[in-house]
């Protein structure tokens, strides 16, 4: 091999080594960062469960419409999450754009790793803010999950499968967070209304516009996901 060729190999091999080191180092940093983010989510959830009874005002009543003050609290929580919701939607779109670009080799892997690990903390920030708002309004996870499913799926008719293909970027941290890693995305059930549909319509009509405004099909399955400390959505009502 001639000298220029040898030099080219040395530079190429050296560059590849630097890339691999950068990937390993960046991946370690992001993993540690995500661990911290999800610990904050767990802490906020534990604070919520410690301050609010497990069921809070939750009844799971499928005959009588929910009390107007609880629906008002639910709508206020939805409104308080709107900015975070839009940020998460943008982060999901950015993640998909990077993944759709493809590309193999170390650089392709680095892009995928970085896209996923940048998305995960946005997930965590959304859940932490939601837990803080739930605490502020004295609403437990089960009540929030029930109202979400009743109002959006049963009453407004949105598909529980909306957003089922939302990127599970948090899976990149699997095995590193243990119980701090949110469980896999699940398809929540729509409660079957057993009361008078007209009574439900009359009780909720004034909330329709706000509820629709705060619904995002893209991140639907993330809305009622908890770390596992709280009862999972879709559980018996």
Model confidence pLDDT, tens digit, residues 75-130: 999 999 999 999 999 888 887 777 777 655 555 555 666 666 677 788 889 999 99
pLDDT of residue 111: 61
Q: Determine the Cα angle at 22 with ends 18 and 25, to 5°.
A: 135
Overall average pLDDT of the 6-19 stretch:
42
Model confidence pLDDT, tens digit, residues 137-175: 999 998 999 999 999 999 999 999 998 877 765 444 443
Q: Model pTM greater than 0.85?
A: no
CA distance 75 to 207: 8
From 237, 225, 235, select the one nearest 45 (Cα to Cα). Answer: 225
CA distance 199 to 140: 25
Handedness of CA 111, 113, 116, 121 (dihedral sign): negative
The full set of domain ranges for the chain reads 40-223
pLDDT of residue 1: 53
From 177, 141, 161, 229, select the one nearest 30 (Cα to Cα). Answer: 177
Lowest mean pLDDT among 7-16, 184-193, 219-228: 7-16
């Amino acid at each position: 091999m001639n000298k220029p060729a040898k030099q080219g190999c040395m530079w190429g091999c050296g560059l590849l080594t630097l890339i691999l080191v950068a990937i390993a180092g960046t991946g370690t940093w992001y993993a540690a960062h995500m661990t911290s983010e999800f610990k904050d989510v767990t802490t906020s959830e534990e604070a919520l469960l410690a301050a609010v009874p497990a069921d809070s005002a939750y009844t799971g009543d499928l005959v009588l419409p929910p009390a107007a003050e609880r629906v008002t609290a639910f709508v206020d929580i939805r409104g308080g999450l709107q900015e975070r919701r839009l940020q998460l939607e943008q982060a999901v779109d950015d993640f998909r754009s990077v993944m759709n670009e493809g590309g193999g080799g170390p650089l392709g892997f680095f892009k995928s790793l970085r896209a996923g690990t940048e998305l995960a903390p946005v997930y965590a920030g959304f859940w932490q803010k939601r837990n803080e708002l739930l605490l502020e309004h004295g609403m437990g996870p089960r009540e929030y999950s029930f109202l979400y499913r009743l109002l959006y799926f049963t009453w407004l008719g949105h598909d529980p499968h909306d957003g089922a293909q939302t990127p599970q970027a948090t899976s990149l941290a699997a095995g590193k967070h243990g119980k701090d890693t949110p469980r896999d995305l699940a398809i929540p059930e729509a409660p079957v209304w057993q009361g008078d549909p007209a009574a439900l319509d009359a009780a909720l009509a004034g909330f329709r516009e706000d509820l629709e405004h705060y619904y995002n099909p893209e991140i639907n399955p993330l809305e009622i996901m908890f770390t596992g400390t709280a009862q999972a959505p879709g559980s018996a009502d």
